[in-house]
Amino acid sequence: MQRPWHSVSIDDCGESLRPLRSVLTCMEPHPYVSLGAPYGNGADPFCLRQGVRSRLLAAQVHLQGITMGTGLHPLRFGIFDAWRPVSVQAFMVNHAIEQECARQGIDPEDSEQLNRLESVRSEVARFWAPPSSDFLIPPPHSTGAAVDLTLIDAKGSPLDMGGEIDAIGPESLPLHHADAAVEHPDGTAALFHSRRCLLHRVLSQAGFVRHPNEWWHFSFGDQLWAWTVQADRAIYGRVPELFSLEP
């Protein structure tokens, strides 16, 4: 499935991938590693391009400052996933399709259920980028410019955001709880909406853009970012060998 931002050209700036574990709270065990996703050679999924990492660190400082100012314990980011090779993207797309088929009681091998299977594939494709090996249209996470994250409290526990990361369904849309929040400003939907808005506000002020279908997905410098902010080109493409072991 082509995305509108796939038309954006890429001029990679050559920054290396830098680890996140020493500077941010990464949610262990990593969910895709636990499923057996093929990262290979001990590659660390908790990495981002240097410039993206720096912006994320600045955003966390801002987040802690404004939440501490409310008189509450400061909130932090909980990193769910970051760099993701195309091999893992393909693995997870297939896993998502299998899980959704199981949830709906669909047998992928049943020729009489092909229409339902295609419906599942289309729905999954709204949330999971195609695992393209074409360097002109890289999956966002393969560039090291995209991160999946949530808010966590002082004890490291994730806040309830009104929908799980990677959920296939309307609850994943960033504004899913907006209407209910207006109708019931003291209800749980209003709480979920306010938390999603806080996450978005802090990250957007640091230059990130949010995926239109996922409240948890933010990026800087990739094709989605360039398309959203109307930049001439993306500055991060799929260059998997640019690693740095520096903390």
Indicate the domain borders of the chain: 4-229
**Confidence (pLDDT) at 70:** 65
| Closest listed residue to residue 60, CA positions, set 151, 195, 146 | 151
Active-site residue among 15, 100, 183, 214?
214
**Confidence (pLDDT) at 67:** 84
> Do 135 and 237 touch, CB atoms closer than 8 A?
yes
Distance from the Cα of residue 125 to its chain's centroid: 14
- In the predicted model, is pLDDT for residue 1 greater than 50? yes
Q: Is 161 helix (H, G, I), strand (E, B) or coil?
A: coil
Our answer to whether residue 214 is catalytic in this structure is yes
Q: Is 243 helix (H, G, I), strand (E, B) or coil?
A: strand
Q: State what percent of residues in the chain have pLDDT above 90.
A: 84
Q: How far apart are the C-alpha atoms of 220 and 99, rounded to whole Å? A: 30
pLDDT 10s digits, 70-111: 667 789 999 999 999 999 999 999 999 999 999 999 988 888
Compute the average pLDDT of residues 3-17. Answer: 94
**Confidence (pLDDT) at 37:** 95
CATH architecture entry for 4-229: 2-Layer Sandwich (3.30)
- Banded pLDDT at 197 (limits 50, 70, 90): very high
- Banded pLDDT at 245 (limits 50, 70, 90): very low
pLDDT 10s digits, 25-77: 999 999 999 999 998 877 899 999 999 999 999 999 999 998 886 667 789 99
Handedness of CA 44, 48, 50, 53 (dihedral sign): negative
Q: Is 47 helix (H, G, I), strand (E, B) or coil?
A: strand
Global pTM reads 0.93
pLDDT 10s digits, 119-175: 999 999 999 999 999 999 999 999 999 999 999 998 999 999 999 999 999 999 999
